[in-house]
Structure 1
Amino acid sequence: MPTVSIVVPVYKAEKTLDACVESILAQTFSDFELLLIDDASPDRCPQICDAWAKKDPRIHALHPAKAGPGPSGARNAGLDAAAAPWITMVDSDDTVAPDLLETLLAGAERTGAELVLCNCCPVTEDGARHPLPENERFTEETLLGVEAFWDAFGTPWINQFTGTAHRLYAARLFAHARYPLGMLHEDYYLLPDLIAGCTRIACLPYTGYYVLRHAGSITDGARHEVRLAMTRGDIHRAEYFLANGWYDRAEGALTDAALFLHSNKRAYDLTKPGHRAEFAETRRELCRVYDALAAQKGTASLKLRAAALHIGLPVFAGYLKARR
């Protein structure tokens, strides 16, 4: 059994896939399996995956016929096939440092963490690296409990906390968790489910993952879906907080979701029937969870805010502004 399963969803990546795989094969820690998950890519990626699988016995090319749409289905197929006690994920247009696995595994062994994160670094198509600002990077080793993680979630570190890559997961975190299909920012949505299985999260002052920034990425031209996905993620996070009795955190997440929906309403182009339906469903879900929060906490002010939200987002936003 390998120590680490590396899951790489592959879609329209024939220009970048070779560099991605080469960076993985250059790892100083070699006890891994590399799962290349062909996401029904319409270009030459399926053939490239098969060619790599013939070159190295650690590489497996998977062509799941019923994985589901998008990277979520591919990642889920990879999780189903993964055999190792540790899992990491790499996007097919990104590259990794040669000591990424070695460093993340050492961090897990040293700290006992089930989730180990390192810094990522954006790279432009000309190969230039653009490190994130210092306040957004881990500059010293930090070990967080679950509540401390959520306290830190609202800091500039959020850019390192969200996402699927530049981290090492204990495979058991995915025992009852899978990525939602057909959703952008599915990683943001799933995060509470993964953190719920942790006792410790380790943040390392090490940069070992390089994110290619380029036009034509999966979120390019999908601003409506991105905004709604982030809002749905906030609502899901609030439900997780509510289940743990963390009422203030739940209220903060729901307030963020409501104000984001209100301030970005024009961006959703509600003249389109599909957009109207998605927006209305997201708002209903927001109201449902806010009602649950008001019922559990039981304060009059929360019940008033819940009522204002039912009337409309402008009323809710106006009520909050008046209270301040």
Structure 2
Amino acid sequence: MNDAVATVVVITYNDAEHVLEAVASALAQGDVVGEVVVVDDASTDDTPRVLERLEAAEARVRVVRRATNSGGCGSPRNDGIDAARHPWLVFLDSDDVLAPKAVDTLLATAARHDADVAAGLCVRRELPSGREIPWQEQLFTRESVHDGVGGRPETLWDTLSVNKLYRREFLLSRRIRFPEGAAHYEDFVFTARVYAARPRLAVTPETVYVWHVRYGTGQASISLRRDRIQNWQDRVAAHQQVLDIMRDSGDQDLLLAAQTKFLEHDLPVYLRDLPQRTPEYQDAWWRISREHVRVFEAEALRQATPAARWRTAVLLGRERNTADLPRLAALAADPPCLTPPYAGDVRRPLWDEAGSASQGADEIVLDGLADAPIALVPFHVAADVGTGRRLVLELRLADLYGRIADAGPERATVELRHRVTGMAHRFDTAWEAEPRESRWRAVVTADTSELCEGGMITTWDAWVTVTFRNGEPVTRPLRAGSGLRRLVRVGRRGQVLLLQPYATNSGCLAVRVADGLAGVRRVLAGRLARRVRR
């Protein structure tokens, strides 16, 4: 048997529409894929018939049919592990695809480093727009190899099972399997078991997996159903299993890293949307989160960034308070932003006025603010918007306990970034101090015609880079201020233009543009469709 051949395990359930594309991406890898095992989790749509025809037409395709639906992804993946006939394993979901040459790249990387597991970059492709967002890109900047992940604990942030190649014998000899049945976030548990087994892990910066995120189809994956409190309960339950695995492994550093990762990543993902949830959801989320986090090691909290420590301090130190939620959501943004009011002083910066004591709450000190590098100071830049033939952005940079004044902001560079292509228009200006207001002001203007794309609907996200006295630049998303209104006008040549500055769910500024009658019609048709759905 050729040691450089893999089995690709594709799992599917009621996905006749997409499974052929997934299998085709696996077959297109070439001879390095010896077989594609498709595990059908008792589909009730046309999937069995589609797979029957595929198996008859493709010699490398084998179909495993489960008699009853498992309710999750773990059991069918385990069936794939058992059915595989080749030394290496790759997992693929039926609504995603493997990148071209993905298996070849992973096998070559594993061979160069004699690795048990090889991991590559995954990109999230938003459909139908086609926008691609790298997953945990900071972990895949260069090729590297690691004997276990203890020396690189940030690896725990990569909780995906599908962007990796596994030596099958490594999984079998360590009895590493996915949780069975209707377990959600099964990837969390599986990857924790892999990491706790101390594999020789090779990493490549090449893209190997394309994760399709389909909006508006009613087919959101479990990880995107964050409006349901059960989703958070499932995520916390899975993380508790991760902590148990790390604790049982005896590796204290990995246990701490898993706890810190939860504070840095999992909590803020949900905090960003918490102000928009119902009071019942908010109360349940607060209770579940506190119960889970309150038993974390103190060292895990000390290893977290200042913003993560402050969010956790509010969670553990207060009952759920509606007034805190918008500020917590901003502090949970990426990068974090601490919005006013700023209580206390630089010697003892506080989350809010000690007036919270009237609610029986303790003071929450923003520890580490005075010493944090300016790049980690969660300062706040907002823009008031003026619209017309030109887009006018009036920037306001608020001081933060004297830290901004000490750093000395000098220049501002605003970038309007195309949401899909990443192309940017840049505008430079200087900051003007407003001492009475403890803030700085700057103004940039943009020609709206430069933002048009010939009858298309285009969205631009606004970012600002603040350059300080020492020359250090720090980039932040530009937050939305006043002046958010939709403008429709007719140009001199009869061209219709729709310009809509708006605040995203996280409070950041974006600008939607449609030019020409066709573009405006698309906007109006989309709004009508949303009203009908409601």
Give the TM-score of the pair, scaled to structure 2: 0.48
CA offsets, 1:66-105, max 9 Å, x none?
A: 5622222211211121222210011111122331111111
Return the match for 2:47 from 35, 45, 48: 45
* Partner residue in 1 for 2:162: 165
* Partner residue in 1 for 2:450: none
* Partner residue in 1 for 2:185: 185
- How far off its partner does 1:208 sit? 2.5
Taking structure 1 as reference, are residues 173 and 182 closer, same or farther at Cα in structure 2, changes over 3 Å only? Answer: farther
- How far off its partner does 1:115 sit? 1.0
* Partner residue in 2 for 1:196: 196
Counterparts of 1:126 and 1:270 in 2: how far apart (Å)?
Answer: 33
Taking structure 1 as reference, are residues 319 and 91 closer, same or farther at Cα in structure 2, changes over 3 Å only? Answer: farther
Counterparts of 1:259-298 in structure 2 under 5 Å? none
Structure 1: gaps of 5 or more residues: 298-312
**How many pairs are equivalent?**
296
Taking structure 1 as reference, are residues 248 and 120 closer, same or farther at Cα in structure 2, changes over 3 Å only? Answer: closer
* Paired AA for residue 169 in structure 2: R
Higher alpha-carbon deviation: 95-104 or 242-251: 242-251
- How far off its partner does 1:249 sit? 4.5
Counterparts of 2:151 and 2:277 in 1: how far apart (Å)?
Answer: 32
- The 8 Å contact of residues 140 and 204 in structure 2, kept in 1 or not, is answered as yes
- How far off its partner does 1:153 sit? 3.2
Structure number having the greater strand percentage = 2
* Partner residue in 2 for 1:228: 233
- How far off its partner does 1:126 sit? 3.7
Counterparts of 2:275 and 2:131 in 1: how far apart (Å)?
Answer: 35
- How far off its partner does 1:106 sit? 0.7
- The 8 Å contact of residues 23 and 98 in structure 1, kept in 2 or not, is answered as yes
Counterparts of 1:1-324 in structure 2 under 5 Å? 1=1, 3-66=5-68, 68-126=70-128, 128-132=130-134, 135-136=137-138, 138-148=140-150, 150-153=152-155, 158=157, 161-175=158-172, 176-180=175-179, 181-215=181-215, 216-219=219-222, 220-221=224-225, 223=227, 224-247=229-252, 249-251=254-256, 253-254=258-259, 314=316
Counterparts of 2:161 and 2:252 in 1: how far apart (Å)?
Answer: 27
Taking structure 1 as reference, are residues 240 and 149 closer, same or farther at Cα in structure 2, changes over 3 Å only? Answer: farther
- How far off its partner does 1:119 sit? 0.9
- How far off its partner does 1:182 sit? 1.4
Counterparts of 1:269 and 1:182 in 2: how far apart (Å)?
Answer: 27
- How far off its partner does 1:214 sit? 0.3
- How far off its partner does 1:37 sit? 0.8
Higher alpha-carbon deviation: 209-218 or 128-137: 128-137
Percent of matched pairs sharing the same residue: 23
Moved over 6 A (4+): 258-272, 282-287, 316-320
Counterparts of 2:150 and 2:122 in 1: how far apart (Å)?
Answer: 21
* Paired AA for residue 212 in structure 2: L
* Paired AA for residue 178 in structure 1: R
* Partner residue in 1 for 2:473: none
Structure 2: gaps of 5 or more residues: 300-314, 320-360, 368-534
CA offsets, 1:278-321, max 9 Å, x none?
A: x87x988878x86xx79xx9xxxxxxxxxxxxxxx746998995
Taking structure 1 as reference, are residues 136 and 163 closer, same or farther at Cα in structure 2, changes over 3 Å only? Answer: same
Structure number having the greater helix percentage = 1
Taking structure 1 as reference, are residues 119 and 320 closer, same or farther at Cα in structure 2, changes over 3 Å only? Answer: farther
Counterparts of 1:64 and 1:91 in 2: how far apart (Å)?
Answer: 16
Taking structure 1 as reference, are residues 249 and 58 closer, same or farther at Cα in structure 2, changes over 3 Å only? Answer: closer
* Paired AA for residue 71 in structure 2: P
Counterparts of 1:136 and 1:189 in 2: how far apart (Å)?
Answer: 22
- How far off its partner does 1:192 sit? 1.6
- How far off its partner does 1:8 sit? 0.6
> Could you say which structure has the greater relative contact order, defined with CA pairs below 8 angstroms and 6 or more residues apart?
1
* Partner residue in 1 for 2:428: none
* Paired AA for residue 162 in structure 1: T
CA RMSD, Structure 1 to Structure 2 (Å): 3.8
- The 8 Å contact of residues 8 and 33 in structure 2, kept in 1 or not, is answered as no
- The 8 Å contact of residues 91 and 162 in structure 2, kept in 1 or not, is answered as yes
- The 8 Å contact of residues 5 and 86 in structure 1, kept in 2 or not, is answered as yes
